[in-house]
Amino acid sequence: MAIQRNQYAEVPDDSRITAAVATFIEEVTFQQIPTEAVRIGKRCLLDGLGLFVAGSDHETARIVAAMAMEQGGAGDALLLGQGAQRVPLPLAARVLGTAGHAHDWDDSQVSKDPDHVYGLLTHPTIPPLSAALATAQKLAPVSGQDLFLAFMTGFEVECKISEWMFSQHYKRGFHSSATVGTFGAFAAAAKLLDLKGDKLLNGLGLAASFASGIRCNFGTMTKPLHVGRAAENGVTAALLAAKGFTADKSALDGPWGFFAVQGGGVTVAKMEAEGFGAPWSIVDPGVSIKPYPCGVLTHPTIDLMLKLVIENNIKPEEVETVTIFAGSNILNPIRYPIATNHLEAKFSLQAVLSMIVLNRKAGKIEFEDGFVQSEQMQSMQSRMKTSFDPAIEALGFDKMRSRIVISKKDGTLVEGNADVRYRGGPENPLTDEEVTAKVRNCCEGVLSAHEIERLIAVGSSVLELDDASEIARTLQSR
C-alpha cells in the first residue's frame, strides 16, 4: 500500500477507512456479535449504568444539567438526575456523557501495541452508551437488543480508530475519549437512526470536524465534559446527517483527514490485518473495568501500595517518606504532586497512595473534596514524591510499571514492584460479583437500595427489554 507523506503525516494514498466504518455501521447485525463479546459488553453496559448514577449528583453533571434546563426545547429524552424532566436529545446525551466520566471510573480500552502508551486508548463505553440511551428514548420504543447492538457498534468503531491511530495523537495532547469518543457516539446514534450510504459518510465527516478535547484540562471539570461533548457531538452529527447535511465523505482519510491531522497517520499493518468486528476489540485485545475512580495509569501502583500496607501493617503515623518510581508514561499524565481537590486527586500518585495509607481503600468517599482537602490527606501527600526511573522507562509501556519505597520513622524500608497485569484488565478481570458490587457502590447515596437492585436487574436483562427507555427511567432517583 503506497504511503503519501507530507509535513504532517503518513497516510495510505488509497485509504478507505471512512467507507469501511460506514459499511460496518450499516451492515452489522446482533447475530454477528460473538457470544463472548456479548458477555463482556453486558458487563461494560452495567458498569456504565452505575457510573451514570454515580456522576448524576457530581458538580459537573449538575451544572450541565442546569444549563440544559435553561436551554429547554423538545422533550426527547430524560435529563439525568432531574426526575421526569425531558430535554432535546443532544443535551440529554451531553449530561449522560459528562456524568459517566465524572469520576474517571469508566472502563479503558486495552492494546497489545508496544507503541500505544495507555493514555492513547479511549474510555470506550460512555460515549456510545450515552448516545444510544438518549437516542433510544427519542425513537421509543426501541428494543433492548437494538440498543445493545448500537452500543456495541459504537464501542467497536471507537476502539478500532483509537487502535489504528499513531500514538502521536495522545503525545500531542489530545484526549482520545473526547476525540475518538465522538465517532463511537455517532456510530451508536446512526445505527439506531438507521442511517445508510451517503448519510453515514456525511455524518462521519461531521464527527471528524466536531472531535476535540485536549489533555491540559485533566484534573478539572472540563475533562468529564470532554466525554459529554463527545456524546452530544456524535448525536448531533447523526441528526444533521439524517436531515441531509453534507460533509467530506472521506474525512478519516487523506492528508487532511482526521487520522493525519490529529494523529499523524495510521498503522497500515494493523489496518491490513484487522477489520471492524474482525476481531471485536472488546474481546481482543479486550477492555479493562476499573476498580478505582481515577486514571487507570495509577491502578497497579495503588494495588501495590495496598499490598505493602496490609502485609506490613503500616500505620499512617509510621510513615516518614514514600518515593514512587515510574516512567514517563505514568509520570507525565499523572501530574499533580499534591492534590487540592478531588479532580486533581484522580491524576496524583501522591493523593491515591495517601488514601491507601490512611483508609486502606480509594473509593468514592476518598475522592470527595472533604477527604482530599483534609489535614491528614494534605500532610500525607507532602511526605510523598515521584521519581523518574530510567530502568523502568527502558522496559517499555506494555505494562504500567512502578516501584514504591516506604521509609518508616523507625528507619526500616518497605519496598515493592508493580510489574504485573493490572487488576480489572483482560488477564486479571473483575468478577461479575465485583462488577455488581461496584455498581452498588456507585449508586449508594443517590438511589435507594430497592432502586439500585432494580437498576442492576434491568441492566442485566437488557437483551430481553421491549423498550430500552426503561433503563433511562431506572437511572432517575425518585
Q: Helices 35-56 and 89-101, interaxial angle, to 10°?
A: 90
Instruction: Decide if 3-291+437-475 and 296-418 have a common fold.
Output: no
| CB neighbourhood size of 128 (10 A) | 32
In whole angstroms, what is the distance from residue 159 CA to residue 152 CA? 11
The pLDDT confidence band at residue 254, using thresholds 50, 70 and 90, is: confident
Report the CATH number of the 3-291+437-475 domain: 1.10.4100.10
Could you tell me if 433 and 445 are in contact, meaning their C-beta atoms sit under 8 angstroms apart? no
Q: Which CATH class is domain 296-418?
A: alpha beta
Cα 373 to Cα 341, 356, 380, 381, distances in angstroms: 6, 15, 11, 11
Neighbouring residues of 278: CB distance < 8 A, sequence distance ≥ 6: none
The pLDDT confidence band at residue 13, using thresholds 50, 70 and 90, is: low
Q: How many Cα atoms are found within 13 Å in the side-chain-facing hemisphere of 180?
A: 32
In whole angstroms, what is the distance from residue 153 CA to residue 355 CA? 38
Q: What is the mean pLDDT of residues 98-117?
A: 88
For the full predicted model, state whether its pTM sits above 0.95: no
What was the pLDDT predicted at 73?
96
Q: Which of 5-14, 116-125, 131-140 bottoms out in mean pLDDT, i.e. has the lowest? A: 5-14
Cα 22 to Cα 31, 202, 252, 437, distances in angstroms: 19, 10, 11, 37
What was the pLDDT predicted at 5?
44
348 φ, ψ (degrees, to nearest 5): -140, 115
Q: What is the DSSP letter of 173?
A: T
The pLDDT confidence band at residue 4, using thresholds 50, 70 and 90, is: very low
303 has pLDDT over 90: yes
What was the pLDDT predicted at 9?
47
Q: What is the DSSP letter of 316?
A: G
CA 78, 82, 294, 470 torsion: positive or negative?
negative
Q: What is the mean pLDDT of residues 292-311?
A: 93
β 10-12/3-5 pair status: antiparallel
The pLDDT confidence band at residue 7, using thresholds 50, 70 and 90, is: very low
What was the pLDDT predicted at 405?
98
Residue 273 backbone zone (phi > 0: left; psi -120 to 50: alpha; other: beta):
alpha
Task: List the end-to-end C-alpha distance of the chain, in Å, as a whole number.
Answer: 58
Burial label for 240, CB within 10 Å (0-12, 13-18, 19+), is: middle
Cα 59 to Cα 54, 103, 238, 370, distances in angstroms: 11, 11, 29, 14
* Residue type, position 262, single letter: Q
Q: Which of 101-115, 368-382, 404-418 bottoms out in mean pLDDT, i.e. has the lowest? A: 101-115
Q: What is the mean pLDDT of residues 60-81?
A: 97
Q: Which of 110-124, 176-190, 295-309 bottoms out in mean pLDDT, i.e. has the lowest? A: 110-124
What was the pLDDT predicted at 10?
63
What was the pLDDT predicted at 363?
86
The pLDDT confidence band at residue 271, using thresholds 50, 70 and 90, is: confident
Could you tell me if 165 and 261 are in contact, meaning their C-beta atoms sit under 8 angstroms apart? no
Helices (H), 215-256: 222-242
β 319-326/384-388 pair status: parallel
| CB neighbourhood size of 371 (10 A) | 18
Q: Could you tell me which of 9, 2, 1, 7 has the C-alpha nearest to residue 258?
A: 9
115 has pLDDT over 90: no
In whole angstroms, what is the distance from residue 95 CA to residue 369 CA? 22
What was the pLDDT predicted at 396?
84
> What tens digit of pLDDT does each residue of 344-396 get?
999 999 999 999 999 999 988 899 999 999 999 999 999 999 999 999 999 98
175 φ, ψ (degrees, to nearest 5): -100, 110
Bridge partners, residue 3, by sequence: 12
| SS3 state of residue 431 | coil
| SS3 state of residue 4 | strand
100 has pLDDT over 90: yes
Could you tell me if 224 and 98 are in contact, meaning their C-beta atoms sit under 8 angstroms apart? yes
Tabulate helix, strand, coil % of the chain (nearest 5).
55, 10, 35
Largest CA distance in the chain: 72
What was the pLDDT predicted at 111?
87
Q: Which three three-digit cell numbers place residue 475?
A: 437511572
Domain locations in the chain as residue ranges? 3-291+437-475, 296-418
Q: What is the mean pLDDT of residues 208-213?
A: 97
**Mean pLDDT taken over the chain:** 93
Residues shown for the chain: 478
439 has pLDDT over 60: yes
Cα 100 to Cα 115, 200, 336, distances in angstroms: 28, 26, 23
